[in-house]
Structure 1
C-alpha cells in the first residue's frame, strides 16, 4: 500500500517533512520518496496507512493538496473512499462508478475531471494533453462532483 501526498502549490513537501523533527521522527521507518508533485510513502497495510495519515495530519492540512492511496490492484483511491473501505462500508470492485482524473503539470495538481459513466480515461486525452502525469482516482460520489471544480 502506498500513500501519495500531492503537495500544495508553492510547497516542497519532501523538504518540509525532512526539515521538521516531528515529521522526521514519524516517517523514520517509512523512507518517503520525493516526487515532482509530492511524496510517496510505502506502508504495509491499509490500517498502517490510515494511522500514518492521522499522525501527520497537521502537515497534511497545511502543505498537502490531496491524499491518495495506491491499492494493491494498482488503483488510486481518495481518503474518503479508503476510510469507507477500512470500515467495511464499501467493497471495491471494477468497474468503479465514481472516478476522476487528476492532471499534474509543473509539480502541481492543476485539474480534476470526473469521468462520466460509460467513459474511459482515453476519452479525455485531448483535454489532458500536455500534462506531466494523469492519475485515475476512484472516489465517492460526492467527491467526484466536488473535485470537478479544482
Structure 2
C-alpha cells in the first residue's frame, strides 16, 4: 500500500481545514486517517497512481494549507519517502525506481510536548486533543487509525462520519538538510540534535545543495 502524508503549514490546523470543506472531505471519505506527525494527515492508497490522483483531487487545498507532501511506496523503500514531483515522475514513467535514491532531503524529527498539540487544536474542535503516545518516531509514522463510527456536524449542517479519531502525534518535522547519496550512503543529519530523522527522495530539479 502506498502511503500519503500531508504536513500542514505553520499556523494552520490541517485536519480542520480539510475536513470542514465538502470537496476535500469527500475525497478523503473512503480512507482511514492517521496523524503521524504534528499537524498532519496520512492515508494509505493502493498504488503510486492512486496516491497521485488523490493529491490532484486535493490540489486546491494543498496549495493553501499544506507545507509538505510525502508519498511512500514500499516497493521502492520501506523507510524513505518520495516528494510529490518524484511520485508523479514515477507514475508517468519518467524515472525508474532504481534512479530515485540520489537526491534527498533529511528532516529532523523533534518530539512535541502533548500540551503543545492540545493548544494547537483547541478552539476549533476539529482535532482530538488526547495526550500524545510515548512511541518511537518510526512507530508514530507507521500508525494508522480508523474512523470510530460517530458523527459530527459538517460545515453545511449535515451529519458526517467522525473523521477526527486519529492518532495523536508525538513528533514534528524540522529543518531539512539537502544531501546527495554517494556510493549508497547518505550523510548524517547535523543541523541540530534530534531523536530521529526522516528521508525524502527528490527529483534533481528539487535538489538544492
Q: TM-score, normalised by structure 2?
A: 0.61
CA RMSD of aligned residues (A): 2.2
* CA contact 1:99–1:139 (8 Å) conserved in 2: yes
1:57 aligns with 2:59: yes
* CA contact 1:69–1:78 (8 Å) conserved in 2: yes
Tell me by how many angstroms 1:143 deviates: 0.8
Alignment partner, residue 178 of structure 2: 114
Structure 1 runs (4+) greater than 3 angstroms displaced: 104-110
Paired with 1:50 and 1:95, the residues of 2 have a C-alpha distance of 17
Q: TM-score, normalised by structure 1?
A: 0.83
Paired with 1:66 and 1:45, the residues of 2 have a C-alpha distance of 20
The runs of 5 or more residues in structure 2 that have no matched partner are: 113-170
Larger % of helix: which? 1
Alignment partner, residue 30 of structure 1: 31
In the comparison of the two structures, how many residue pairs are matched? 143
* CA contact 1:78–1:139 (8 Å) conserved in 2: yes
* CA contact 2:104–2:207 (8 Å) conserved in 1: yes
Larger Rg computed on CA atoms: 2
Tell me by how many angstroms 1:15 deviates: 2.1
* CA contact 1:23–1:56 (8 Å) conserved in 2: yes
Alignment partner, residue 12 of structure 1: 13
Alignment partner, residue 102 of structure 2: 97
- CA deviations on 1:110-133 (whole Å, 9 max, x unpaired) are 312112443525x22x424136x5
Alignment partner, residue 93 of structure 2: 88
